[in-house]
Amino acid sequence: MTDLTFLQPLLHPLPLALLGLCIGSFLNVVVHRLPRMLERQWWQDVAQQLADADSHARTLGRAPAPVLADSAGALQQALDALPALTLSRPRSQCPHCGAPIAWHDNLPLLGWLKRRGRCAACGGRIALRYPLLELGTAALFAAIGARFEAQPLALLWCAVAATLLALALIDWDTTLLPDALTLPLLWAGLVAAALDWTLPLPQALWGAVAGYGSLWSVYWLFKLATGKEGMGYGDFKLMAALGAWFGAWMIIPILLMASLLGAVVGIGMKLTHSLRDGVYVPFGPFLAGAGLVVMLAGTRAVLGWMGWSF
């Protein structure tokens, strides 16, 4: 990597933990808003499609009914009336009353502790998950600092870890793995390999191919056998990204770890009657968790657990 030795004082576990607190606060925003941003865009696409008379005629062989044009106009008008929604706008606000959260109440962990987990305006409870994600990100960044011993590469792995955390929580909440996160993670893995920061590029490339192909094959075998879809395409892309970062030889260990963890959690949820509607447990969080295990333990250690030589 480029000479970044001047950063070394900041790459020890404690400074990285403080960075993790701040990044964890941002991840709370990403996890909450990105799915809503995607849904808004999908409805925008619906409005445009309803208004496309030529597409309607090509697809259905007839001109659209006037009611479709009216629906398109009403939907577009409703969308245009919505306030802006991005990762930076609007400012953070209470999920109960919508009151803006003051900057000093929005400090990572400290703001939540200061208000004892309640909104300053309405007293509504602010979920414990917010500070837990901040603490979890801090602990993960500190562990990465210890693992990579103040090397600049630690910052790269912190970015990978933060992306995996966001993907895991979004998938758990919504069963979505947004392309806005999976595809940059995949391409970043290939670019990092091309710059000789991680793996040799052929290993990263074949890792991406093997990662995507493994779950793509499982998906189609299951669909042909049952007529049902067992997972989403986002799982393929996430597995491809993990392959780009860790190589093809880690695909089987990651899948085994993710499957085992997913089975344990799924059985536990079934026994406690906490399975969501449709008896569906998303696979993405377990893939992300397995990727974090490989990152922190190292590929040699994981292969050693399986009794494989490296």
Q: What is the pLDDT of residues 297-307, one digit of tens each?
A: 998 899 888 87
**Under a CB-based contact definition with an 8 Å cutoff, are residues 197 and 156 in contact?**
yes
Residue of 155, 184, 157, 178 whose CA lies nearest to 166? 178
* Domain total of the chain: 2
Collapse the DSSP code of 280 into the 3-class scheme (helix H, G, I; strand E, B; otherwise coil) and give the result: coil
247 falls within a domain: yes
Omega before 285 cis (within 30°)?
Answer: no
Query: 296 vs 111, which has greater pLDDT?
Result: 296
12 and 87 together in one domain: yes
142 and 183 together in one domain: no
- Helices and strands (H, E) in the chain, number of each type: 12, 0
Give the residue numbers spanning the domain of 210.
175-305
152 falls within a domain: no
Q: How far from each other are the two terminal CA atoms of the chain, in whole angstroms?
A: 25
Predicted local distance difference test score (pLDDT) of residue 247: 95
45 falls within a domain: yes
143 and 210 together in one domain: no
Q: Is the pLDDT of residue 210 over 90?
A: yes
Band (4; pLDDT cuts 50, 70, 90) = low
141 and 185 together in one domain: no
H/E segment holding residue 137: helix 129-148
Predicted local distance difference test score (pLDDT) of residue 279: 58
Q: Is the pTM of this model over 0.85?
A: yes
Band (206; pLDDT cuts 50, 70, 90) = very high
Predicted local distance difference test score (pLDDT) of residue 10: 78
119 and 188 together in one domain: no
189 and 252 together in one domain: yes
